[in-house]
Amino acid sequence: MMQESGTEATSDGQASQNGGTSMEGGSREGRPKSATPSVEVTAADLLHFQQHQVEQSFFTLLSQSQQNTGRKSPKPNDKQQSLQVPVSVAMMTPQVITPQQMQQILQQQVLSPQQLQVLLQQQQALMLQQVMYNRQPHHESFQEQQVSAQQLAFQQQLLQVQQVQQQHLLNLQRQGLLTIQPGQTGLPLHSLTQGMIPAELQQLWKEVTNAHVKEEHNNSSNNGHRGLDLSSPAPPKNPLLNQHASTNGSTLEEPSPHSHPLYGHGVCKWPGCEAVFEDFQSFLKHLNNEHALDDRSTAQCRVQMQVVQQLELQLAKDKERLQAMMTHLHVKSTEPKATPQPLNLVSSVTLSKSAPEASPPLSLPQTPTTPTAPLTPLSQTHSVITANSLHSVGPMRRRYSEKYNMPISPDISQNKEFYMNADVRPPFTYASLIRQAILESPEKQLTLNEIYNWFTRMFAYFRRNAATWKNAVRHNLSLHKCFVRVENVKGAVWTVDEIEFQKRRPQKISGSPALVKNIQTSLGYGPTLSAAFQASMAENNIPLYTTASIGSPTLNSLANAIREEMNGAMDHGNSNGSDSSPGRSPLPAMKVVVGLETAAPRSLVIKECLLSCLKPKIIQRTRHRFQMWGQTTDVQHG
């Protein structure tokens, strides 16, 4: 899984030092074996070899990146700056690169993410190795006995370092410091946030702390170490641990006179440390001495962060599962009724006219586990419907799809079963739904009746009051320019003009600037992403704000090409009366009619050409009058 993928990014040097023993290290599953230094290599040799490898790879990466960045004529300062980093690194050898320097490198963006990953991995491995080497007694006989153990611990540390490294890169990417395109690197970002079960976390924690246990085992005090117990108590490897765990077996935390999150029941709660203290002062002294800001504490802290993250992720998934279960059970409970009763989550104002027979409100039971707020602001845009969110889904006026510019397809796909069975009004505009219906069709075109059928098939809500919403559908089809009527053999079908749909006046997105920027930048990716990827993105609540991602390749490519043209020309003036520039005098807009069948049985041949030199509002209400429908040409406004 992610451990293996993390090793893929390592260089040869990394692999060589990673391969190591054929003992325990080789026995671990998934650990790549390599023909590498034998066990006779001392830790000191290994350390020096590591330092050399890091230096070599760093200079190599740096030189490559400088070549790749293509700075043909760098300014003197730039050149000087770019040279400063390796020089300073060379000066500090065999020390590791300081965080400041690393940050400087990051800010300069000299290295690619892959190179950074390799470099950071080697750096952290070297750091850990140095720590281990410095702490171990330098007796030859002891080394011989401990080399395998050290290498095992080193491998375990490496594993942890890769985890931490990936997490660090992920954080960097989240903070915008790194931009890693999908597929650009072997870094499994997806796996970082997915599916790390508690058992794996426990194993990871054991591996991280195991080295620490081994390290301090020889000169151990009465401090015992126990693996992070996330689920069931695992049999401790070390008898000391077992003994210690039994002596401090209490799992209940009681309020301590000296309150400290890391101190409870007379035991240090630092992960992996369960040192017992008589009083709070000794604990504080221990905390400052043993858990000071050093590499080990930092690594443990990062691991703890990852543990928390994974637990939160797991919690989110379980919440989602719970909601699905609740939704399912609720829908089931409403199904047996002879006449489907509406949930009446729609506001009474809206339904008062269209559904006078609406039943009294039927609210879902509220449970403490029901998430009252989405985990992330973005997840709110297309989250799985929750019991609470149902109450806000209500009226069609809550046009989330318009307000947040959200894609409705992930939402519909995610809540498909719900919409199909629950008499709840979908929180999308008619236009969005019509467009979705059309785009879901194989040929991206539907007759009016097929649109009706899609509505009734997909949404239980539209299985009643047909006259009302069908009228609304027709009204929207005629009103919005984004829906193009096309005549063919079968009759008239409706297609979607994506450009027109995109041009609809976007409502301002409220939220943090980062959110807005994220949404805006995501707009450009839609057409190039497959539906599967989009679904995957949606499943992970990764925003994918697109409205042109589902169309046929032909339509998409056409739309993209035109959109590119539009983007280039938009700044200089809209060519067809965009809503964004109503004051201009645009060129006449052609409402393109495609798919004309010359052998159409109908006597009408569409010769539609819209002149829209007027303001959009006027255009909307007058364009139809300019339509020339063969025999029924309306020339009264000609």
Partner DNA sequence: GAGGAAATAAACAGGT
Partner DNA sequence: GACCTGTTTATTTCCT
CA gap 585, 581 in Å, rounded? 9
In the numeric block, the tokens 């009465």 are attached to 222
Q: Which residues 6+ apart lie within 8 Å of 532 measured at CB?
A: none
Paired tokens of 337: 């009724």
Q: Which is nearer to DNA, 283 or 400 (CB)?
A: 400
Touching DNA, residues 466-505 (CB under 7 A): 468-469, 471-472, 474-480, 485, 491-492, 494, 504-505
Q: Which is nearer to DNA, 193 or 392 (CB)?
A: 392
Taking a C-beta distance cutoff of 8 angstroms, is the pair 534, 544 a contact? yes
Q: Which residues 6+ apart lie within 8 Å of 408 measured at CB?
A: 382, 401, 426, 428, 432, 433, 436
Whole-number Cα distances in Å, 246 to 34, 113, 199, 223, 229: 41, 46, 22, 13, 14
Touching DNA, residues 510-529 (CB under 7 A): 510
Q: Select from 109-117, 310-318, 536-544, 622-630 the region that touches DNA (CB under 7 A).
A: 622-630
Q: How far is the CB of 606 from DNA (least distance, A)?
A: 10
Q: Which is nearer to DNA, 99 or 583 (CB)?
A: 583
Q: Which is nearer to DNA, 265 or 474 (CB)?
A: 474
Q: Which is nearer to DNA, 234 or 628 (CB)?
A: 628
Q: How far is the CB of 569 from DNA (least distance, A)?
A: 20
Contact string 388-407 vs DNA (x = CB under 7 A)? -------xxxxx--xx----
Q: Exposed e or buried b for every residue in 42-67, given b needs 16+ CB within 10 A?
A: bbeebbebbbebbbebbeebbeebbe
Q: Which is nearer to DNA, 539 or 579 (CB)?
A: 579
Taking a C-beta distance cutoff of 8 angstroms, is the pair 271, 304 a contact? yes
Paired tokens of 28: 């671990």
Taking a C-beta distance cutoff of 8 angstroms, is the pair 577, 555 a contact? no
Paired tokens of 127: 């750091």
Give the closest residue to 425 by CA, choosing from 389, 461, 457, 451. Answer: 461
Q: Which is nearer to DNA, 274 or 500 (CB)?
A: 500
Q: Which is nearer to DNA, 207 or 402 (CB)?
A: 402
Q: Which is nearer to DNA, 46 or 472 (CB)?
A: 472
Q: Which 3 state secondary structure label does DSSP give 360? A: coil
Q: How far is the CB of 454 from DNA (least distance, A)?
A: 13
Paired tokens of 416: 């498909």
User: Does residue number 291 form part of the binding site for DNA (CB under 7 A)?
Assistant: no
Q: Which is nearer to DNA, 457 or 621 (CB)?
A: 621
Q: How far is the CB of 581 from DNA (least distance, A)?
A: 12
Q: How far is the CB of 330 from DNA (least distance, A)?
A: 23
Cα torsion 598, 601, 607, 608: sign: negative
Q: How far is the CB of 625 from DNA (least distance, A)?
A: 4
Q: Which is nearer to DNA, 72 or 353 (CB)?
A: 353
CA gap 632, 602 in Å, rounded? 13
Contact string 341-380 vs DNA (x = CB under 7 A)? ------x-xx--xx--------------------------
CA gap 178, 329 in Å, rounded? 44
Q: How far is the CB of 453 from DNA (least distance, A)?
A: 10
List the beta bridge partners of residue 264: 267
Using CB under 7 A, pick the residue from 72, 75, 337, 508 that binds DNA. Answer: 508
Paired tokens of 418: 């719900």
CA gap 398, 395 in Å, rounded? 6
Q: How far is the CB of 596 from DNA (least distance, A)?
A: 14
Give the closest residue to 485 by CA, choosing from 386, 584, 610, 363. Answer: 610
Q: How far is the CB of 623 from DNA (least distance, A)?
A: 6
Q: Which is nearer to DNA, 118 or 434 (CB)?
A: 434
By rule CB under 7 A, what count of residues binds DNA? 53
Touching DNA, residues 536-595 (CB under 7 A): 579
Cis peptide leading into residue 506 (ω within 30°): no
| H, E, C per residue of 276-332 | ECCCHHHHHHHHHHHCCCCHHHHHHHHHHHHHHHHHHHHHHHHHHHHHHHHHHHHHH
Q: Select from 56-64, 261-269, 506-514, 526-534 the region that touches DNA (CB under 7 A).
A: 506-514
Using CB under 7 A, pick the residue from 179, 243, 507, 540 that binds DNA. Answer: 507
Q: How far is the CB of 550 from DNA (least distance, A)?
A: 19
Touching DNA, residues 590-619 (CB under 7 A): 602, 616-617
Touching DNA, residues 118-157 (CB under 7 A): none
Q: How far is the CB of 497 from DNA (least distance, A)?
A: 13
In the numeric block, the tokens 């060129």 are attached to 587
Q: Which is nearer to DNA, 205 or 404 (CB)?
A: 404
CA gap 132, 153 in Å, rounded? 9
Q: Which 3 state secondary structure label does DSSP give 204? A: helix
Q: Which is nearer to DNA, 93 or 348 (CB)?
A: 348
DSSP at 496: E
Give the closest residue to 271 by CA, choosing from 215, 328, 320, 201. Answer: 201
Q: Which is nearer to DNA, 263 or 430 (CB)?
A: 430
Using CB under 7 A, pick the residue from 67, 631, 635, 636 that binds DNA. Answer: 631
Touching DNA, residues 414-453 (CB under 7 A): 428-431, 447-449, 452
Q: How far is the CB of 400 from DNA (least distance, A)?
A: 10
List the beta bridge partners of residue 267: 264, 276
Q: How far is the CB of 439 from DNA (least distance, A)?
A: 17
CA gap 268, 280 in Å, rounded? 10
Residues that bind DNA (CB under 7 A): 347, 349-350, 353-354, 395-399, 402-403, 428-431, 447-449, 452, 465, 468-469, 471-472, 474-480, 485, 491-492, 494, 504-505, 507-508, 510, 579, 602, 616-617, 621-625, 627, 631-632
